[in-house]
Structure 1
Amino acid sequence: MAALDWDDLRVALAVADAGSLAGAARALDVNHTTALRRLDALEARLNTRLFERQRGGYVPTEAGDLLAQEARAIAPRIDDIERRLLGRDLRLTGTLRLTTAFVTMVYLLPQALADFANTHPGIEVEVAESTALLDLSRRQADVALRLSRQVPEHWVGRTLGTAQYKVYVKRGASGLPQRKQPLAALLAKAPWIAFEREGAANRFGRWMQQHIPSEQVRLRVDMFNSMVMMLRTGLAVGVLPTFVAASEPDLMPISGAIDDLATPLWILTHPDLRRTARVQAFMKLVGDAVAKTLQNSS
């Protein structure tokens, strides 16, 4: 029997944990076809069926249960070895994986990433945009750029500044406020674009749930990028980070900064990777550029 490939075992473990191939692909941040190909290859190599494909998902066979248990036991050790070896890499070449939110990718990172690519052509950057915080310990990413008031204690890095949030409206929009007003007045009288009710799991969604009367909500969205699109229509007012609005000339602020929503922006990595040359170079060049952009937008 050919030697087992850890990447194939990782897929089998993810399928067992998620109960579906689609869930495993999302957890590993690979496409569905890649996950299926690796699982099929593993079953062929073992000449054993690991999962029963049922309408409700993938159910492990006895062999699949055994494989998942063993893979789960050794996974932390393999991830640790990979990180520690990578941390000794002094070359300015190779791949660097960045995890960040959709809004920071669109409004803060493009020029910084382009400048980094031109300065370090031997380093290939992969960007994973997600609202979920990928696990640096499991090598799902090498560097994280995140807006958060709390970050994992064992990650290392620095804050690049604080993102401020204000209420914005389309310039010249009929029936909507066109000058700065007290926040209380906007909350009491203006029509709003808010986050979806399920968005109350994050701090911005909770703030909207607590402060905006439901009868004043004209539309709900699930992320700031969608908020921008709807604000451009002149439908209602909404909250945005100031770094977003700085690139949207058709939108204007009609409130002061909302203290409850001010959020630090972090650039982070795992302790085992902080001395890796490409990680150091990325965190310095991209971090400094993003910090400057954020400062200029406040």
Structure 2
Amino acid sequence: MTNISWDDYKIAYQVAIDGSLSQAGKSLNINHTTVLRRINQLETALEIKLFFRHQRGYKVTDAGKILLAELPELIARFSKLEYQLQNVESNISGELRISTISSYSSQLAPALKAFRDIYPAIRIKVLSTDDIVSLESGAAHVSLRAGPKPNGADLIVKELTRFKTHYYASKEYVKEFGKPSTNSSFNEHYWVLPTAEKYRIPFVRHVVDNIDQNRIVFQSNHFPDVNQAVIEGMGIGPMGEHQAKLYPSLVKIPLNSPKSEEAMWFVYHKDAKHSARVKCFYEFLHARLKRLQNNN
């Protein structure tokens, strides 16, 4: 058997999925004549037919069915190998993929700008989502997660900082409506809160249990929306202390609600433990957050 290009296998796999040379060419962004040449080349090298040719396209033979069944796992293993090799590096360059909770992604921008000022060869991609992104797949190099400490046998987890959440209102709101002095006075005010699936959070539950539902004038399942409604003066609502400090127009509202403090975790897969990008990003972010806390 002559040497076979790995790309020939991938091209054959795409033909098996798409069922035609032209569609596979579009999927791979190559000319369909190139697809045909590579398929013929692979079949000649293997000395076996992978496809039946007919007017409606290409249909896999029994050998083609084996290719279709086995190749996805091989592709995944090669992708993991590439990911591991790319993360054993000495220079700080290339793409750094970061997944983070949606309520924090916009606040991350100043830190990312400062990081790139130090390492201008870095290209950053942020995946903003409240879902957990698989780190083993390589979809992200780093995940910034809030809440309980993440667990996983193949994960390396480091605590970055802790965030406190309080209730705030705009100065304009306080000027017009004042501040609630007791729980019984909550119904004299307007509230902006997260939607019902967040009611299990103790500091949200405390307010919900003490107000009529018609006093909630704005709700969103997205905390940044709630924060913006507070900033605009729609009512009293929760916001992270670290974010509220960016808006001098906000007034902290003491509610005697349960203490809210959660950790922010820096998470990466053990395969990335030798990644210079990941290591430098952690050291930079940890130092920056510590400096900001010391200045407050």
What is the TM-score normalised by the length of structure 2?
0.69
Q: Identify which range, 205-214 or 228-237, moves more after superposition.
A: 205-214
CA 1:140–1:291 in structure 2 vs 1: closer, same or farther (change >3 Å)?
Answer: farther
Q: Does 1:40 align with 2:27?
A: yes
Q: Does 1:106 align with 2:111?
A: no
Q: Identify which range, 98-107 or 110-119, moves more after superposition.
A: 98-107
Q: Does 1:236 align with 2:241?
A: no
Cα shift at 1:214: 2.6
Q: Does 1:168 align with 2:155?
A: no
SS at match of 2:173: coil
CA RMSD of aligned residues (A): 4.0
SS at match of 2:8: coil
Q: Distance in 2 between matches of 1:179 and 1:290?
A: 32
- Counterpart of 1:85, as a letter, is L
Q: Distance in 2 between matches of 1:67 and 1:190?
A: 66
Number of the residue aligned with 1:89: 89
Q: Does 1:128 align with 2:127?
A: yes
- Counterpart of 2:81, as a letter, is I
Cα shift at 1:161: 1.8
Number of the residue aligned with 1:31: none
Number of the residue aligned with 1:3: 8
Number of the residue aligned with 2:288: 289
Cα shift at 1:272: 1.0
Query: Number of paired residues?
Result: 256
- Counterpart of 1:160, as a letter, is L
- Structure 2 contact 149–265 (Cα < 8 Å) conserved: no
Greater Cα radius of gyration, structure 1 or 2 = 2
- Structure 2 contact 170–232 (Cα < 8 Å) conserved: yes
Per-residue Cα deviation, 1:40-91 (whole angstroms, up to 9, x for no partner): 338965899xxxxxxxxxxxx999x988754554465334323332332222
Gapped regions of structure 1 (runs ≥ 5): 13-35, 49-60
What is the TM-score normalised by the length of structure 1?
0.69
Number of the residue aligned with 1:20: none
Number of the residue aligned with 1:118: 117
SS at match of 1:139: coil
Cα shift at 1:266: 1.1
CA 1:273–1:215 in structure 2 vs 1: closer, same or farther (change >3 Å)?
Answer: same
- Structure 1 contact 196–205 (Cα < 8 Å) conserved: no
- Counterpart of 2:191, as a letter, is W
Number of the residue aligned with 2:43: none
Number of the residue aligned with 2:214: 215
Number of the residue aligned with 1:55: none
- Counterpart of 1:234, as a letter, is G
Cα shift at 1:130: 1.9
- Structure 1 contact 172–178 (Cα < 8 Å) conserved: no
- Structure 1 contact 83–139 (Cα < 8 Å) conserved: yes
- Structure 2 contact 195–221 (Cα < 8 Å) conserved: yes
- Counterpart of 1:190, as a letter, is H
Q: Distance in 2 between matches of 1:260 and 1:225?
A: 20
CA 1:209–1:75 in structure 2 vs 1: closer, same or farther (change >3 Å)?
Answer: farther
Q: Distance in 1 between matches of 2:138 and 2:105?
A: 20
Q: Distance in 2 between matches of 1:71 and 1:260?
A: 52
Number of the residue aligned with 2:45: none
- Counterpart of 2:114, as a letter, is D
CA 1:262–1:38 in structure 2 vs 1: closer, same or farther (change >3 Å)?
Answer: farther
CA 1:238–1:102 in structure 2 vs 1: closer, same or farther (change >3 Å)?
Answer: same
- Counterpart of 2:100, as a letter, is T
